[in-house]
């Protein structure tokens, strides 16, 4: 009897096999003459050579689909097995605004004109500033682009960083070790990643250092090669921090700097590194600067109302 072994490295077996191995059960209905065994991170098939080779081909297509769209179900298996092909299993109809497919096949795309401009600018330039108020999708879009670049093997790692500015609290007085103290500042980055990568894969990437989340001060002295790097909440960086960060750029790197100049938490009289950088670099053809506004707010509709209300006060 012939045997073939298929390694599921990089794929979550739990998601690929399905709840109670439902996806494997479905595959068995299409290959009744071969024995299919799902165990750990591998699939084994036993039977006639031609049949197990066909099974291997179909399984590789399913792995490829899951790698792109993070979802596998009866309908997808049926379409691929009966020969409609992976391209026809796309969940978004080929819309140009789609960035990636997140957990459970969630479509993550640029939803507004300025978000689309941000995606286009990031595709053309290696360094882009995304400037705008809360809720305009700056960080979320940036993380999606970073995950896409990693999945497409354009970069080898993702680095996400923020200035750890104490918003009314002193880190030294917070309980726990350094990571526990910093987690509240980094939570929005974790939240975005959890939408885009399965839990097991995200945990593995974090443990291996493929995805790094760290305060801005930890970037000092590093050369960031082959990486997609996002500096979030950049309005809270100082002159020296911003200069330090921008000069960390190494070979084959993509840098995105996001921030809202209207929400600076720095001590009074301290100049925001973001504001200064925008003035210094505004005429550089190699650097993109995209401004988002209240029309790009994609949170609850009331957020736009709040932004407009505060604008009225601040302009008086």
pLDDT band at 95 (very low <50, low <70, confident <90, very high): very low
> 266-273 — which CB contacts under 8 Å span 24+ positions?
266/165, 266/236, 266/238, 270/238, 271/238, 271/239, 272/235, 272/236, 272/237, 272/238, 273/234, 273/237, 273/238, 273/239, 273/240, 273/241, 273/242, 273/243
Label residue 267 by pLDDT band (50, 70, 90).
Answer: confident
Phi, psi of 208 (to 5 degrees): -85, -5
Task: Spell out a b/e string for 86-113, using b for 16 or more CB atoms within 10 Å of the CB, else e.
Answer: beebeeeeeeeebbbbbbebeebbbebe
The pLDDT of residue 63? 86
Supply the pLDDT for residue 39.
Answer: 85
Mean pLDDT of 164-172: 51
Per the model's pLDDT, the better-predicted residue between 96 and 122 turns out to be 122
C-alpha atoms less than 13 angstroms from C-alpha of 56 in its C-beta half-sphere: 16
Tokens in use for 133?
Answer: 């108020």
Of 114, 124, 122, 116, the closest CA to residue 96 belongs to 116
pLDDT score at 179:
56
Q: By percentage, how much of the chain surpasses pLDDT 90? A: 39
pLDDT average, residue stretch 147-158: 93
- pLDDT (average), residues 296-310: 77
Query: In the prediction, which pLDDT does 83 show?
Result: 66
Give the per-residue pLDDT at 154. 94
Mean pLDDT in residue range 285-301: 85
What's the chain's average pLDDT? Answer: 84
Token pair, residue 296, equals 């790009």
Is the pLDDT at 235 greater than 80? The verdict is yes
Least reliable range by pLDDT among 90-104, 136-150, 226-240: 90-104
pLDDT at 262 over 50: yes
Neighbours of 8 (CB within 10 A): 17
Give mean pLDDT, residues 54-69: 85
- Domains, the chain, ranges and CATH? 2-89 (3.30.1370.10), 98-315 (3.40.50.300)
CB atoms within 10 A of CB 146: 29
CB 296 within 8 A of CB 130: no
List Cβ neighbours of 212 (8 Å cut-off, separation of 6 or more).
Answer: 157, 158, 159, 160, 206
**Given this model, what pLDDT does residue 96 score?**
45
Q: What percent of the chain has pLDDT over 70?
A: 87
Instruction: Give CA torsion, residues 70, 75, 80, 85, to 10 deg.
Output: -80
Q: What pLDDT is recorded for position 36? A: 92
């Amino acid at each position: 009897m012939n045997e073939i072994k298929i390694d599921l490295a990089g794929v979550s077996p739990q998601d690929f096999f399905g709840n109670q191995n439902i996806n494997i059960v479905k595959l068995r209905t299409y290959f009744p003459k071969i024995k299919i065994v799902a165990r750990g991170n591998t699939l084994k098939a036993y039977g006639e050579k031609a049949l197990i080779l066909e099974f291997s081909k179909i399984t590789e297509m399913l792995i490829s689909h899951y790698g792109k769209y993070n979802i596998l179900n009866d309908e997808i298996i049926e379409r691929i097995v009966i020969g409609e092909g992976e391209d026809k299993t796309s969940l978004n109809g080929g819309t140009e605004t789609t960035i990636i497919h997140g957990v459970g096949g969630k479509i993550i795309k640029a939803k507004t004109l300025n978000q689309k401009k941000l995606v286009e600018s990031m595709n053309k330039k290696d360094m882009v500033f995304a400037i705008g108020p809360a809720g305009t999708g700056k960080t979320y879009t940036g993380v999606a682009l970073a995950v896409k670049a990693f999945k497409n093997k354009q970069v080898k790692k993702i680095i996400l960083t923020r200035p750890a500015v104490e918003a009314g609290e002193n880190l030294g007085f917070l309980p726990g070790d350094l990571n526990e103290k910093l987690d509240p500042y980094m939570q929005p980055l974790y939240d975005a990643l959890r939408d885009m990568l399965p839990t097991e894969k995200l945990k593995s990437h974090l443990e291996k250092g493929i995805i790094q989340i760290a305060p801005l001060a930890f970037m000092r002295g590093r050369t960031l090669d082959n990486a997609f790097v996002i500096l979030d909440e950049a309005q809270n960086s100082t002159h020296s921090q911003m200069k330090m960060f921008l000069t960390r750029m190494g070979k084959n790197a993509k840098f995105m700097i996001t921030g809202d100049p209207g929400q600076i938490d720095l001590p009074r009289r301290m100049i925001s590194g973001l504001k200064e950088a925008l003035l210094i670099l505004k005429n550089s053809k190699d650097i993109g600067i995209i401004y988002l506004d209240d029309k790009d707010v994609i949170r609850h509709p009331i957020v736009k109302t709040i932004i407009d209300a505060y604008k009225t006060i601040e302009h008086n």
